[in-house]
Structure 1
Amino acid sequence: MKFPIAVPLVLIAAVLTQSCVSSKKYKELDANYTQLQNSTRDMSVKYQTTAQALAVANGRVSSLEEQIALQKSNVAALQDALNKCLNSSNQGSVNISKLVDEINSSNKYIQQLVNAKTKSDSLNMVLTNNLTRSLTAQETQDVDVKVLKGVVYISLSDNMLYKSGSYEVSDKANETLSKIAKIIKDYSTYDVLIEGNTDNVPITQKNIRNNWDLSALRASSVVQALQNNYAVDPKRLTAGGRGEYNPIADNNTPTGKAQNRRTQIIITPKLDQFMDLIGKAPEAQPAPATAPAAPPKQ
């Protein structure tokens, strides 16, 4: 704000034009004029000081506005990051939930497999007992019965079946073969494979070229005994020889050789026939006289 300095001069001129003033009056007017000049100068200083302060304040306001804008930008970035984090967390929760469901499903499936295996083991045991229930304690030492995946393996030692160094069925084997024949005939729709096996000692008998011949001849002897002596339908029977090439024990020891010299009767029922056989098993089964040997390798 500016105050015109010419105002006092006009007043003085007006007074002078009207009349001459006294010295005393003039001094008063001059003092007032001086006072007005001083007051105008002070107000001008105050104005300039105020203007400078206002400029500084405006500068601070501008700086604060810039800081506010920057902080708003930071807040927006943080909010965006938070939203992404929340979305990621929600997705993570969904993935964890799916993973838990998959684990539960896997555990359920594993339990089903365990239950199925337990049931299968129980069925195999019942079937084994059913097949061996008519064997004596002495016969179970030379007869090993196993059930693997629904297939019945009856393994007969050569000492029990054949005459020494021969493929002819011995007299002492007849009683055991008669019981096995009864089992085979009871389930007349099952296929039966008679499989001969030897150790790795070369055969030296006349008219027998090697262990292939010996194993096949022994299997054929059992097949013919079941057919001719016990009236088993030959259409169900197959004779096969595997020589020394299907061992179940080490041929480097006498015990291993004895285990490998065997004839297997392999009965292969269908699934429905297998279940029928289980249904015919007696409620109470006698325990085997000796622990069964390891399952045959197939």
Structure 2
Amino acid sequence: MKNLISVFALFLFVTAMSSCVVMSPKKYKALLGSKDSLYTAYNEGLVKIEDMEKEASKLKKDTSMMADELRSLQGNYNSMSNDYKKTKANSSSEIDKLSGDLAAREKRLKEVEDVLRKRDEATNALKEKLNQALLGFTKSGLTVDIRNGKVYVSLMDKLLFPSGSIIIDEKGKQALTQLAGVLKQQPEINIAVEGHTDNQKINNLGQIKDNWDLSVLRATSVVRYLTSKESVDGIRMTATGKGEFQPLDSNATPAGRSKNRRIEIVLSPKLDELYNLIK
């Protein structure tokens, strides 16, 4: 552009000289002014072009960066979309599995609850039968109650044994005979006979050395009578001695010690059905 203006100025000068026209100083100054104006405009144009080229380069660079960022975002979106689809599919499968497991557990829980309900109903019915069968012995120290789903028939030692003895007396035999009548009608009931004593030391009882001996031998006497005399199935029965270590009352008074000297016959329903459910 600059060369073009110089050529144009030279052309005007040559033209002026060749035409043999003598140019006045005023016209010559005007011509030089036009030249300067054109030169200034040219330089300003160059600056603007340079600025525009820089701006265009910047825009091109920004556009390239935005395109790269857009591709990166699109890639992330596609990856997240695929992960979401997989997670959704896996979640649906997991939810279905958990729903199935929950339904199975709820079914088993209901079955266990039904078994326990039947057990409680049977336990309450057994308690009522025993109360009716043993009603005549309640004043002699016999009680029937339910603890932890089991029926406890508690007989004070004075109802079954003479003092310090392991031989069942006649009144005790009558009570056990009445009890056996109910037990033989309930073959699904397990029977545990527990002997209990107070904490007084044993003196001069021959083969009975201490309260452990006394509690065990009294329990086995009851089991032996129920099985051999009353024909209760021995496979249903166990005999244990608890000694003085599970008292019902304080051993500091005669009344408390009397309560602690007892035979407890623990009756519990067979729970094979329940055990099979919770295996």
Tell me if both proteins adopt one fold, taking TM over 0.5 as the criterion.
yes
Q: Kindly indicate whether the alpha-carbon contact (under 8 Å) linking 2:202 and 2:209 is maintained by their aligned counterparts in 1.
A: yes
Quick check: 1:194–1:237 contact (8 Å CA) kept in 2? no
- Matched with 1:216 is 216
Q: Which amino acid aligns with 2:43?
A: Q
The C-alpha deviation readout for 1:188-228, integer Å capped at 9, x for no partner, is 58664433221221122431322233223323432444356
Structure with more of its chain in helix, by fraction: 2
Task: Give, in angstroms, the shift of residue 48 of structure 1.
Answer: 0.8
Tell me which amino acid in the other structure corresponds to 1:6: L
Pairs within 5 Å for 1:16-165: 16=20, 26-27=21-22, 35-67=30-62, 105=102, 108=106, 112=110, 117-136=116-135, 139=138, 142-146=142-146, 153-165=152-164
Give the letter for the 2:210 counterpart. N
CA distance in 2, matches of 1:110, 1:233: 35
Unpaired runs of 5+ residues, structure 1, are 17-25, 275-298
2:119 and 2:230 mapped to 1: Cα distance?
A: 32
Query: Among residues 7, 11, 15, which one is paired with 2:15 in the alignment?
Result: 11
CA distance in 2, matches of 1:226, 1:110: 38
Query: What is the rounded CA distance, in whole Å, between the counterparts of 1:109 and 1:256 in structure 2?
Result: 48
Contact 1:124–1:148, Cα closer than 8 Å, also in 2: no
SS where residue 170 of structure 2 aligns? coil
CA distance in structure 1 between the partners assigned to 2:56 and 2:205 by the alignment = 122
For this pair of structures, how many residues does the alignment match?
A: 259
Write the letter of the residue equivalent to 1:130: K
Cα distance in 1 for partners of 2:217, 2:18 equals: 163
3-state secondary structure, aligned to 2:154: strand
Check the 8 A contact 1:223/1:237 in 2, yes or no: no
Give the aligned residue type for 1:39: S
Distance 1:270 1:202, change over 3 A: same
Which residue type is aligned with residue 173 of structure 2? Answer: N
TM-score of the aligned structures, taking structure 2 as reference length: 0.66
For the residues of structure 2 that align with 1:9 and 1:225, how far apart are their CA atoms? 154
Q: Structure 1 83/161 Cα, relative in aligned 2: closer, same or farther at 3 Å?
A: farther
**Alignment deviations for residues 151-190 of structure 1 (CA, whole Å, 9 cap, x no partner):** 6543322122222333332333333222111123324586
In the superposition, relative to structure 1, how do residues 15 and 168 fare at CA in structure 2: closer, same or farther (>3 Å)?
closer
Aligned-partner residue type, residue 48 of structure 2: A
SS of equivalent residue, structure 2 residue 202: coil
Q: Does the residue aligned with 1:156 lie in a helix, a strand or coil?
A: strand
* Identical aligned residues as a percent: 23
Partner residue, 1:258 = 258
Describe the shift of the 1:125–1:233 C-alpha distance in structure 2 as closer, same or farther (beyond 3 A). Answer: closer
**Contact 2:193 2:266 (8 Å CA) reproduced:** yes
Which runs of 5 or more structure 2 residues have no equivalent in the other structure?
275-279
Q: Is the 8 A contact 2:156 2:262 kept in 1?
A: yes
CA distance in 2, matches of 1:245, 1:218: 13
CA RMSD of aligned residues (A): 4.6
CA change 1:72–1:28 in 2 (3 A) is same
- Structure 1 CA distance for aligned equivalents of residues 268 and 113 of structure 2: 24
- More divergent stretch after superposition (171-180 vs 106-115): 106-115
Following superposition, the deviation at residue 263 of structure 1 comes to: 1.4
